[in-house]
Amino acid sequence: MKHLCVLLILFFAGPAIAESDHDLAREAASRHEILPLATVMQDVSERYSATPLEVELERENGQYVYEFEMITPEGRIFEILVDAATGDILEEEGD
């Protein structure tokens, strides 16, 4: 029974947490604290000639950061961290 309660809590808390993150991102964009994802994604895709596999918006040390997981036509996978407010590349990590 204890496990069932924990699962129910996680089940109902999960969507609320995700919605809250979505709302925070939308509000930050509407206040012009971050650039629209579509703008940054196009720039990163063109700059690296790669396709996004996954994108996350995170807040690190008070700064919004887009984290892109990208794949090249050759199959190379790498990550790019982008300052969400300016579009500047902060870090490149990859294979």
29 and 41 assigned to the same domain: no
Element (H, E) at 67: strand 63-71
Global pTM exceeds 0.85? no
Among all chains, which residue has been given the structure tokens 């700059």?
47
The number of angstroms, rounded, from the C-alpha of 19 to the middle of its chain's C-alpha atoms is 14
What is the predicted pLDDT for the residue at 24?
76
Mean pLDDT of each 10-residue bin along the chain, 95 residues long: 38 44 80 90 94 91 92 95 96 84
48 and 3 assigned to the same domain: no
What is the predicted pLDDT for the residue at 53?
94
Count of structural domains, the chain: 2
Pairwise CA distance, residues 86 & 64, whole Å? 10
Q: Which domain holds residue 47?
A: 35-95
63 and 28 assigned to the same domain: no
- CATH code, domain carrying 55: 3.10.450.40
54 and 84 assigned to the same domain: yes
51 and 93 assigned to the same domain: yes
